[in-house]
Amino acid sequence: MKNKAVFLDRDGTINYDTGYIGDPNLIKLYPGVSEGIKKLKDEFGFKIIVISNQSGITRGLITEEDVQKVNARINQILNENNTEIDKFYYCPFHPEFDSKELSECRKPSPALVYVAAEKNDIDLAKSFFIGDKDVDVMCGINAGVKTILLQNTISSEEINRLKNSKNSPNFIASNFYNAVNYIESFFNGEIVEEFN
């Protein structure tokens, strides 16, 4: 039987986004993230996989090692709550600096979701994507998973624009734990919706 996953954006979704984060000491998780990830994994058996754009690497602002150290720090904090992220995938490229082919891994492209799904034997039809930006929602839609938009960093104008477009998320969550509750309701059959 295939796994199901909750794909997460990183900066602005799991942790506060201070812009091209290279210092693991700057990592601070949003309230409810540790508890939410633990619940998704322990109670519902989801794999937790991060999909993030990290163009700070190609811009020369941070290194791949910096990104890996930040990822390790996130899991170190989560370990304190007896949970963790299963895998981190990131795209270090940007079309302003790199070829179209290299930049294909950038959200809203679903390329990294497909890679993660193949490597971790994931059924996308039973999976979700949580993020704080339109590219996260679009990435999830492009990959054929249910999408949840967090109101952490996005303006109400951008939310309204998304809601009125073909890229409307399945759910808009006020915070991470609210997103987890939506997934729980879905999982328990309290919400019946067709997938995109």
Active centre residues (catalytic): 9, 11
Name 191's bridge partners: none
**Angstrom distance (rounded) from CA 174 to CA 188:** 21
Q: Report the chain's terminal Cα–Cα distance, integer Å.
A: 23
Q: Which of 57, 65, 70, 56 is nearest to 24 (CA)?
A: 70
**Angstrom distance (rounded) from CA 111 to CA 117:** 10
Which run of H or E residues covers position 114?
helix 111-119
- Is 84 within 8 Å of 50 (Cβ atoms)? no
**Angstrom distance (rounded) from CA 50 to CA 6:** 9
